[in-house]
Structure 1
Amino acid sequence: MRRLGISVYPNHSEVEEVKAYIELASKYNFKRIFTCLLSVEGNKEKVIKEFKEIIAVAKDNEMEVIADVSPQLFEELGISYTDLSFFKEIGANGIRLDNGFTGNEESVMTFNPQGLKIELNVSNGTKYLENILSYQANPSNLYGCHNFYPHKYTGLGYDHFIATSKQYKEQGIKTAAFVSSKTATIGPWPVSEGLCTLEMHRELPIVTQAKHLWATELIDDVIIGNAFASEEELKALSEIDPYQLILNCELVEEIPETEQKIVLEEPHYNRGDVSDYVIRSTQSRVKYSGHEFPAFNTPAIKKGDILIESSLYARYAGELQVARLPMENSGRTNVVGWVVEEEVFLLDLIKPWQKFKFHQKRINLIKVNTSVA
């Protein structure tokens, strides 16, 4: 199951504010929480009491809580890797090892009698997981979670992200990665330039970030790295389909009713015999066979344009396509809209036979261009 999550930082926020944020996220079906226990500064009893209070609220809202820890924290609190009862006592469902041990210790942890999940750092790109599994770990108690990066330009590159995520998915391990809120400012460190996993996401809308992570089919849980995201962002994320890519689009003002219905209401999937130039959704030409599709907007075609063939294309009339590359227009292809600029790159992830939909983001007030390329 793919889930949404939030992050909370009790050491940097008021407890009541954190509780209210958890309640709000739960309202929008968020199911997991990341929190940071890398160091316990100040009054340890007070810090632990606050963590317990916050985790109790999460539990009341059926949210899983994973706490970020390190070997240094184990030393600070006198915790042994053979006895994780402390984390169970504060209410956590699992711990994330920001820095690991040697492999054998993690393997032992996966058999903890408290049933805690042991989450590993995916981003490092070493043979860490392979090493732990070689010690006959219990894989059902293992998670993988990427890092987040508060400093601009330090986030993961896309190729590295794909390669490291595959290491975990190929072993059947549940994975997570972080997206960044535009309104949130709180994280575990003083630097606050966003808290995303992928550097390419730092300036993108939060919904686009989440769509991209799920579209890779390598990430199960999408977690907002910084706090506190706005209610508008939480709501928008809750409305994403984690299993089907829905592309935000704009339509030309003068689009005919049938063409609009084809774009927004008909089911779409990319044909198996794929083209480099277009994503082809062909069932509409079958359903609307015999309908007259006039040529009304036939400019040159750019990547991301949504196309419907006119009746001048005979048997192709009514077929929907999405341009993957710029193309000339013969004068027979209508440009009926376009994928919004920030989501055009998602077209590169659509595979043969993959199902997808369009959502009209807003009405475009630009008149159509009837010139022929």
Structure 2
Amino acid sequence: MENGISLYPGLDNTLAENLQLLETAAACGIRRVFTSLHIPETDTDVLKKELATILQAAREHDMEIISDISPRTLDMLDMPEFSLEAFQKLGITTLRLDYGYEAGQIAELSHNTLGIRLQLNASTITEEILTDLQAAGTDFSHIDALHNFYPRRGTGLSESALCKKNTMLKQAGIKVGAFVPSHGKQRGPLFEGLSTLEAHRLWQTDRAARHMAALGMDSVFLSDSLPLPSELQALGKLRADEVAVEAVFLTEDEGQRELLRHTFTAREDEARDAIRAQESRGLLKGTVVEPENNKERRRGAITIDNKDYLRYMGELQIIKKSQPPDTRVNVVGRVSECELFMLKYITPGRKFSFVWG
């Protein structure tokens, strides 16, 4: 996935904090940086003093620099007129056109020869806007989209609204990203988390990011000012179009634990009562699974068939509908109660894995 962090020169962090954040993020494999150049609370004097240094550091880490702009940006940067060349000289590689730009302007900008990409506001896109962009001759190969974040409680998107916008954009061949909040240093002026989905505002960052991946996001950005190192590490490990669910081991057997650490694919012939992994039996490599943990298989139980199930030995399942104990089936783990909702995203043909707590 093309994941990223957010930086806000002239707002919350010191220059040293922002430079350290870039360093840590790059070490975690994060290669995108979002910044906004039209936030009303920004100290424009500090912004103009620090921006070039921050952007230079991002370029040294080979990061894509996405700048959220509007007509107000020109005043903040003392630009006499809109100029792609001026943004290029700053080192900005993608412009997110928040508001104030017509379809004809966007279409013209999409054909620039400077290598600058464009980004649409995924949260406010409509069928009419897409139709106008297509009619204007926009080159969509140079465009992606990024949802808003919402500082005020109660104003974030619903999951259904987000998915509706995503479907619209992906049908046009446009990749889509979104934000999840951090629980390190949150951004002002409200300091209540910057989430795209309202449901994520108080969630653990790792869970929110994995939920976004389960929803099919192409990129996830940490929106707040100074994420925790653990949040950056989790974002660096996030995989596209994979459902990763938090779980706990219920077996001490290392052979079965090793099997459980793989990434699996849900079988296309979807069972009513369980999610079945199509690869698990083939991953045993001669290992014999001995019987253990003959327990009731409640919803969310993770099971492996033992040797008494004959040719089914090694079959891995996540239980969707509770079932009685079976001596041929080992209950080797369970999905955390707070993440049982994630099972609905493990649809036929979808990749899934476990985050072991």
TM category, shorter: 0.7 to 0.9
The 5-angstrom pairing of residues 6-17 of structure 1 reads: 6-12=5-11, 13-17=13-17
Q: Which residue of 2 aligns with 1:371?
A: none
Change (3 A) 1:213 1:288: same
Q: Is residue 241 from structure 1 mapped to residue 230 from structure 2 by the alignment?
A: no
Question: 1:356 matched to which residue of 2?
Answer: 352
The alpha-carbon deviation at position 296 of structure 1 amounts to 3.0
Deviation readout 1:215-240 (Å, 9 max, x if unpaired): 222x2221110010112221232233
Amino acid aligned to 2:227 = A
Alpha carbons 1:293, 1:318 under 8 Å: kept: no
The match for 1:329 among 318, 324, 329 is: 324
Confirm or deny that 1:212 pairs with 2:211.
yes
Change (3 A) 1:296 1:341: closer
Deviation at 1:281, TM superposition (A): 2.0
Whether the aligned pair in 2 keeps the contact of 1:144 and 1:174 (CA below 8 Å) is yes
What is the CA-CA distance between 1:67 and the residue it aligns to? 1.1
Q: Contact 1:87–1:94 (CA<8 Å) still a contact in 2? A: no
% identical aligned pairs = 30
TM-score by length of 2: 0.87
Equivalent in the alignment of 2:95: 95
Counterparts of 2:294 and 2:206, CA distance in 1: 30
- Cα deviation 1:112-142 (Å, max 9, x = unaligned): 3433222110002422233222200121221
Name the structure 2 match of 1:366: none
Structure 2: distance between partners of 1:141 and 1:295? 55
Q: 1:270 to 1:108 in 2, by over 3 A?
A: same
- Residue pair 1:277, 1:324 contacting (<8 A) in 2 also: yes
Please list, as runs of the form range in 1=range in 2, the aligned pairs for 1:53-92 lying within 5 A after superposition.
53-74=53-74, 77=78, 80=81, 83-92=83-92
Structure 1 segment 332-351 matched on structure 2, within 5 A: 332=327, 333-351=329-347
Structure-2 residue corresponding to 1:135: 136
5+ residue gaps, structure 1:
362-373
Distance in 2 separating the partners of 1:236 and 1:289: 33
Q: Deviations over 1:66-108 (max 9, x none)?
A: 1111134347756555x33222232211221222423112112
SS of aligned partner of 1:66: strand
Pairing partner for 1:260 from 257, 261, 286? 257
CA spacing shift, 1:53–1:40, aligned 2, 3 Å = farther
Q: 1:329 to 1:31 in 2, by over 3 A?
A: same
Q: 2:266 touches 2:276 (CA, 8 Å); kept in 1? A: yes
Alpha-carbon shift at residue 340 of structure 1 (Å) = 2.3
SS in 2 for 1:343: helix
Q: What is the CA-CA distance between 1:322 and the residue it aligns to?
A: 0.1
Structure 1 residue 268 displacement after superposition: 2.8
Distance 2:270 2:300 in 1: 16
TM-superposition CA deviations, 1:238-280 (whole Å, max 9, x none): 233335444332112x544443343235x53211110232101
Helix, strand or coil at the partner of 1:3: coil
Aligned residue number for residue 161 of structure 2: 160
Mapped to 2, the partners of 1:43 and 1:318 lie a distance apart of: 60
CA distance in 2, matches of 1:336, 1:43: 55
SS for the counterpart of 1:47 is: helix
Question: Residue 10 of structure 1: SS of its match in structure 2?
Answer: coil
Compute the displacement of 1:6 (Å): 0.7
RMSD (Å), alpha carbons: 2.8
Structure 2 vs 1, CA of residues 149 and 302 (structure 1 numbering), >3 Å: closer, same or farther?
farther
CA distance in 2, matches of 1:41, 1:350: 42
What is the distance in 2 between the residues matched to 1:43 and 1:107? 32
The amino acid that maps onto 1:85 is E
Question: Equivalent residue for 2:112?
Answer: 112
State the match for 2:224 in structure 1. 226
CA 1:293–1:70: 2 relative to 1, 3 Å: same
Please give the secondary structure, in 1, of the residue aligned with 2:65: strand
Conserved? CA contact 1:211–1:242, under 8 Å: no
Q: Under a length normalisation based on structure 1, what TM-score does the superposition of the two structures give?
A: 0.84
Q: Tell me the alpha carbon deviations over residues 185-216 of structure 1, each in whole angstroms, 9 at most, x when there is no partner.
A: 12xx5112111211222222222222222222
How many Å separate the matches in 1 of 2:289 and 2:6? 53
> Which ranges in structure 2 are unaligned for 5 or more consecutive residues?
none
Counterparts of 1:220 and 1:284, CA distance in 2:
27
> What is aligned with 1:25?
25
Change (3 A) 1:108 1:277: same
**C-alpha displacement of 1:56:** 1.0
Give distance in 1, aligned partners of 2:313 and 2:140: 52
The secondary structure found in structure 1 opposite 2:168 is: helix
Distance in 2, matches of 1:155 and 1:268, equals: 33
Count residues in correspondence. Answer: 352
Distance apart, 1:9 and its partner CA: 0.7
Partner of 1:178: 179
Pairwise mapping of residues 283-302 of structure 1 onto structure 2 (< 5 A)? 283-285=279-281, 287=284, 291=288, 293-294=290-291, 296-299=293-296, 301-302=297-298
Relative to structure 1, is the Cα distance of residues 75 and 303 closer, same or farther in structure 2, using a 3 angstrom cutoff?
same
CA contact (8 A) 1:208 1:342 kept: no
Distance 2:57 2:280 in 1: 49
Measure how far apart 1:158 and its partner are. Answer: 0.5
Q: Residues of 2 paired with 1:202 and 1:41: CA distance?
A: 22
CA distance in 1, matches of 2:9, 2:246: 36
